[in-house]
Structure 1
Amino acid sequence: MLQTSDLLRISFRQVVRQHKRYLGVLLSIALGTAGFIIILTMGEEVKSNLNRDLDLLGGATIIKAFFEEGVTDASRMTRPEWFHDRTVDAVSQIPGVNGTTLLTLAAGKTSQGNREVELPMFGVDENFWDVMGITATQGELFGKEAQEKRHRVVVLGELAAQRVFDRIDVVGERVMLNMALYHVVGTLDPGNQIDRARWAYVPLDTLRARMFNLLPRRLYVRCNTWDDVPLVAAALPEVIKSQQKADTLTVEVAWEPLKHIKRIVWWVEMFVYFSIVATLGLGGFGIWNGMMTAVKSRTREIGLKKAMGAEDWDIMVQFLSESICLSLTAGILGVGLGYGGVQVAANILNTSPPLDLFYAYAGASIAFALVLGIGAGFYPSLSASRMDVVAAIRYE
């Protein structure tokens, strides 16, 4: 019986010698393995990036909490409820919460020539842009410093800029809002939410400093993924009520868009996984078919080996070893392609590749390739080992 090292060397050399026959099988298994590694390694990162694109998701991962005004006679006689800083901090600690933002709305007016233009003003904190998935088309979006120092800066929606200045390239201009002069630092991209383009956005503390009765009565909470939305929505009322009075609290979740998105993603995932399984299945069938062909073409060789004293087990192990070498070669090639795919995907998503996941799934892929080689090559190997010596030698 051959040594294991010699057996593997001979088997691998046989695979190389017959590479043209096995090329389709190698590519099929390699591509299926690479797809398996890329999808599982980058799956959570892709989902996270999809959840950050809130315009694409229609705000499905955003939960809106607000206090209604004057819903009862008693509430009209008491001071309106509003979100306290400690409440926002407590909400931020809920598992699954990615970010929170406070905002409030005030009526705004400015002048354009001889006419007065109404311009709704949103007082927002520095987290608003990330939570809502808003980017600047020109200039910049104000941050924490403007909020803390109560700078008189404003970000205009493009439609608001058009109404006030009759153009959208307005960065650096000054605009009078409610008798206060603001510096325009940027314009924003409204995405699919066209109403955002009609508003002016100023730092929340700046707006509250000028309008003392203006209270932050709206809290937007963004979840890490759509899977976190039900859990966060269930926990949110209790957390808020544990920190402050919240008799008129209302929590809104976009359940229908969320269900629609999850349904679409589920079908896409099923299609991708089915494609990978089908590819690997075709690869396994290719190994089986290739090994059956090899057994048939080497029938006389099998007969001669048996005549020279080779046992059935020796013949079976030889062909099974060739099947395993073929499958493992394809698996290793797939791991290499998968590594390249993970690096490309990470670069596109502007993130670091999770190499710990890659190594885990690469190991699983090699193990699967080993099982696939054994499973696909077992029957052809068994058939070769059971050949009759005389019939095999006489085979033409």
Structure 2
Amino acid sequence: MKIVMSLYPAPEGGAPDELLGCAENALGLRGWLESEGHEVVSTAARELDDLRGHLEDAQVLVTTPFWPVYVDQGVFEAAPGLELVLTAGVGSDHVDLRAAADWGILVAEQTGSNVVSVAEHAVMQLLALTRNYLPAYQQVVDGRWDIGEIAQRSWDLERKCVGIYGAGAIGQLIASRLAPFDVETLYYKRHRLDHASEQVIGARYARLDEMQARCDAIIITAPLTPETENLFDREVLAGMRRGAFLVNIARGGIVDRDALLEALESGQIGGYAGDVWYPEPAPSDHPWRQMPHHMLTPHYSGTTIDAQVRYAADTRQCLQAWLAGRPIEEDHVIVQDGEIVGGAYRAAFGA
């Protein structure tokens, strides 16, 4: 069995052993797989032409979300024997799910492996926006000391209204993490939580129009589907409270690129944070890099050392089951037997 791993490159100077998710360390699975007689190719190549030679006789492709390769029709054509695509992480929208279904390929991801990591990142970025943290830090680096300049865009989080759009596992954990700040939290998800669950996370159900009218900040945690693509467009951004913050730790394509830039320049949106872009990796001239009042990071929120341990272990479990001819656990599966079956993807694609 040939298993190709498409992973991010090791940092310059080499990778420490705990950096499991890089191509050099191959999720820590190379030794086990090769001892079982399987061929393992781990690469950070981004272009299909550079991958083609590896893919042509591969049965399994393991990849991290959006980096380094998009798994589209071209990849499937280059890998006629491909049977399984595993996302080492959460979110399989970098895979053409309809094409995977048409090719009869099983697609699975590591459900829950980075929930804590991404939720903590979202709270950190909301606090950074609210307290105007990065400009304050930059003053220190630049040798300046202008408290008034920083304080004029700095607030407390207490008693603010925060919306969470797409409150799955990550969104619900964000709500729980925000509760000690004494905020009012609204949430939206396709299927409303029961009353007891709402009490546990301290949030009340609301649709997007209510969030626009009432929220001082909205955190996007929804998957990227045809339903959510460019959802936060000019109309939605214009309908938000003037000066409200937007945090996106879901997918860059949920927010209209140019509309966001305009909303920040006009002051309609007070600040934007997140670590997701489109495309990824973001080119050096991506307009979001230079827009005002942003606190963006590269897409690393779900790639902490702790998260890598979890998604590497889950990837191993999926491979162990599949290689032994057993079903992969149902909550990991996105595409199976020619159908899109995974949660939000199934509903959004009308499967």
* TM-score, normalised relative to structure 1: 0.28
* TM-score, normalised relative to structure 2: 0.30
Structure showing the higher helix proportion among its residues: 1
